[in-house]
Structure 1
C-alpha cells in the first residue's frame, strides 16, 4: 500500500485538472492507508503533507498545460546553430525595418550620432510550426531569442564599446513559423559631419545593418518600412526624412556578395540658438570695425576700439572652434568670415598706428612729399573717396601754388625759431 501511495503522489501533478472530487478521493485513500501503515506513521505523515501541498498549488486549467506542452515540443531537439531551411543551399529571407524613437545627440566634434530605435526583424522558421487545433487554439507564443536561431545582424558602423547593443527580448513565434523580433537599442554610430554651412547646415547620417558572417547566398536581407510614429523631436535638430536602402556589395576579402540595409537619417540644425548667441553678436561687432575708420586720427579711442573688436572676434572664433570637429576636410564659412574681419581689424590697427605716427610728427621731421605721391593722395584719392580737396594758395612770386596747410606749417616753424 505504501508503494501505491508513492505512485499516486508522484503522478498527481500530471493530472490535467484538480477538482473537489479528486481531492476528496485522495483524502479517503490517505485515511485507508493510515490504518494499514500505522507502524510507519512518521514517513506516511511526510508524504501526506507533500500531497496536500501539491493539491494546493496545482494548476486547474487546460490552457496552461497546452502552452507548456507546446513549449516543450518546440524547444525539444531544436538546434540554434542550424539555419531553419529545408535546402541548405537556399537563403533565408530576413526583412529588416526600424522604428525611430528619438535622436538623442549628434556630436559634431566626435562625429557620432546617438539614437534610440526599435529594430524590426522577421523571418520564417520551418522548425517552429504547429497545428493550433492540437494545442488549445494557441496561434502564437513568446520564446527567448537565445533559444532559437536568429540572424547575426549587426550595425557595421557602430562605435559603442559593446558593438552589439540590441536588447535580447523575446521573439514572437506564430503557428505558421513566422518569427518577429523587435529589440530596442541605444545605438552610437559614426556619422560624417559637414560643417561648411554651420550653423545653417543639413546633415545625413547612415546606420548600416548587415549579417556579419553569412553572405547573401545564405542570409538575404530586404528593407522594410520605417516608422516615425513614436518619434520624439530633438531640441537642436529637425528631422527631415528617414530612408532605407538595400545594398548588395562584394568586398575585397570575399568573392560572395554581402547584403546590407542602410537607414539614412536626414536632419537640419535649429538656428534660433546660434542665431541669437553667435551670428547676431558677431555681425554687430563686425559693423563696429567699419566705424573705427571714421574716427579722427588724433582721437585716443580709435586704437582702443580696434583692439577691443579684435579680441571680441577672437572669443567668438574660439566658441566656433570648440564645437567644430578637428578636421582639415572642410572649413566653416563662419570661421572664414571671422578670419576676414580679423584681418580687416588688424589692418585698421596698423593703419591707425601709422596715421597717428605721421599726425604727431613735426613738419621738419620728414622729407617733402614727392610730386607723384602728392597727385595721388591729394588729387585722385579725395575725388575717389568723395572728399573735399585741400585748399590751394597761389604764391606771390608767381612760382606756383601751395597748400594752405603747408603754408600754415611753415609759419608755425618760423615762429618757433
Structure 2
C-alpha cells in the first residue's frame, strides 16, 4: 500500500515538472502563425490560387554583382547576380489584428515557387536558385531574393578587339507553366548598386526585354531576357600587344637598312618573324576560333608577317649578290636593269687605263709611239702585250719598276671596280625592297585604322 502511494506521488511530481517547464517557455506569435498557416497549406506543387483559371503574376528583377569571367575562347559568361521574384500566394495571408507581425521568413521548399529557369545554362553543378528564406507579408505577397552564380553561353564578336563591346543575354522562362497559368513580367530593374567592376570589362548597361514564344500545342510561354552590355577596357592590351607589334613593324623596315656587310640581316629578319608569329598566337588564344567575324587586327598581322618573310628572302638575295665572286662577269640584262656601264665600254676604259699605266703618266696625252702601239721595253723581267690598232700580239719585253707598278695599279683598279658593281647592284635591290615594304606597311596600317573607324 505504501509502495503504491510513492508511485502515484512520483508520477504527480513528474507531470507537475513537465507542465511547469512548458509554461516557462511559451511559443511566440511567429510560431503560432506559422503553425496555423502551414497546417492547412498542403502540397507545394499546385499553384497558390483558389480558382484554377486564375493567372499567377510573377515579377522578376536582376541585380548584377560581379562579372566573374567572360571566356572569349569558349564563349561563356559567368556572373554573380541577385535574382528577386515577387508573387502572391492566396494561402499565406493572415489578419494583422490577430497577429501583429509585419512578415515572416519561410524556407522556399515549404511553399510553391515559380517554375523559372535560366535558359542556355551550361553549369555542370546547375542549381536554379539558392535555398534562401522567402519573405511572406500579411496580404500573401512573397518576396524571394536569392544570390546565384549564373553561367551561360555568350557569342563573342571579336571584330573590334581590343576595342570591342560584347552583348551577352541571360534568358529566363518557365518550362511547365504557359502564359495562361503563370505570367512573368519585369516591373523594375536594379543594377549597379552592388556591382564590383573588373579590370577587363566594364558593365555599361543591362537591357531587359519580354517576349512571348509560341510552342505549338503547349501554348504561349513568356520569356524574360536580360542583355548585359560589356565594354572591354583596352589599356592592358594596348601596352602588351599593340605597342610591341608596332615596334616590330618598325624593325621590319630597319632590316632593309642594316648594312649587308654586317652579316646580320637574315638573323634580324627571322627574329622579327618569330616575334610576330608569337604575338599572333597570343591573340588567337584569346579569341574564339570563328570564321564569321574575323578580328580586324588580323588584317594587320597578316601583312606584317608577310613583310617579315619578305625581309628574310631579300636579305638572302642581297647577301648572295653582295658577296658574289668579283671575277664573275655581270650579265648584260642586269646591267641594263640597273643602268650600269656595259661590259664593252668597261673593257675599252680598262684598256685605255692600262695603256696609260704602261706609259708611266696617266694624265699625259698619248705619243705617236704610243698611238701606233707599245715599243719593246727591255728593262725588267716582265712581259706585256703590244697593242696596235686593236690587234693584240704577245711580246716578251722587260718592264722597269715604274711600269710594273702602273700595271699592278691598273689591275687592282679593274678588280675594285668589278667588286663595287656587284655591291652597287645589291644595294639598289635592297633599296627597292625597302620602298616596297614601306608602302606595304603604311597601307596595312591605314586599312586597319579605316576598318576600326567604319565598324
TM-score (ref. length: structure 2): 0.71
Q: SS at 2:187's partner residue?
A: strand
Correspondence 1:126 to 2:129? no
Correspondence 1:246 to 2:249? no
Displacement of 1:55 = 2.6
Q: SS at 2:57's partner residue?
A: strand
Q: 1:40 to 1:357 in 2, by over 3 A?
A: farther
Q: Is the 8 A contact 1:165 1:187 kept in 2?
A: no
2:297 paired residue among 326, 330, 334: 334
Displacement of 1:167 = 0.3
Displacement of 1:147 = 1.3
1:28-66 CA-partner distances (Å, limit 9, x unpaired): xxxxxxxx99734246435524543553464566xx443
Pairing of 1:23-38 with structure 2 (within 5 A): none
Displacement of 1:275 = 1.6
Q: Is the 8 A contact 2:62 2:84 kept in 1?
A: yes
Q: Is the 8 A contact 1:226 1:243 kept in 2?
A: no
Correspondence 1:114 to 2:117? no
* Farther off after superposition, 107-116 or 49-58: 49-58
CA distance in structure 2 between the partners assigned to 1:58 and 1:164 by the alignment: 44
Q: SS at 1:235's partner residue?
A: coil
Pairing of 1:28-67 with structure 2 (within 5 A): 39-42=4-7, 44-45=9-10, 48-49=13-14, 51-52=16-17, 54-56=19-21, 58=23, 64-67=27-30
TM-score (ref. length: structure 1): 0.77
**What is aligned with 1:281?**
244
Pairing of 1:123-162 with structure 2 (within 5 A): 123-135=87-99, 137-162=100-125
* Farther off after superposition, 45-54 or 305-314: 45-54
Q: Is the 8 A contact 1:320 1:335 kept in 2?
A: no
Displacement of 1:265 = 0.8
Pairing of 1:177-192 with structure 2 (within 5 A): 177-192=140-155
Pairing of 1:186-225 with structure 2 (within 5 A): 186-225=149-188
**What is aligned with 1:14?**
none
Q: 1:409 to 1:103 in 2, by over 3 A?
A: farther
Q: SS at 1:341's partner residue?
A: helix
Q: 1:97 to 1:168 in 2, by over 3 A?
A: same
Pairing of 1:72-91 with structure 2 (within 5 A): 72-78=35-41, 79-91=43-55
Q: Is the 8 A contact 2:332 2:342 kept in 1?
A: no
Q: SS at 1:208's partner residue?
A: strand
Structure 1 or 2, whichever has the larger Rg, is 2
2:194 paired residue among 226, 230, 238: 230
Q: SS at 1:264's partner residue?
A: strand
Displacement of 1:394 = 11
**What is aligned with 2:387?**
none
CA distance in structure 2 between the partners assigned to 1:391 and 1:327 by the alignment: 57
Displacement of 1:288 = 0.5
Displacement of 1:284 = 0.9
CA distance in structure 2 between the partners assigned to 1:56 and 1:134 by the alignment: 26
CA distance in structure 1 between the partners assigned to 2:346 and 2:194 by the alignment: 94
Structure 1 residue runs without a partner (length 5+) = 1-35, 379-389, 400-406
1:349 paired residue among 286, 290, 312: 312
Displacement of 1:216 = 1.3
Q: Is the 8 A contact 1:152 1:211 kept in 2?
A: yes
Displacement of 1:240 = 0.6
Q: Is the 8 A contact 1:118 1:182 kept in 2?
A: yes
Displacement of 1:396 = 10
Q: Is the 8 A contact 2:119 2:172 kept in 1?
A: yes
1:72-129 CA-partner distances (Å, limit 9, x unpaired): 2211232311112233233211100012211111111221111111101101111211
**What is aligned with 1:387?**
none
Correspondence 1:311 to 2:314? no
**Aligned-residue CA RMSD (Å):** 3.2
Q: Is the 8 A contact 1:139 1:174 kept in 2?
A: yes
Count of aligned pairs between the two proteins? 357
CA distance in structure 2 between the partners assigned to 1:321 and 1:54 by the alignment: 77
Structure 2 residue runs without a partner (length 5+) = 350-409, 420-455
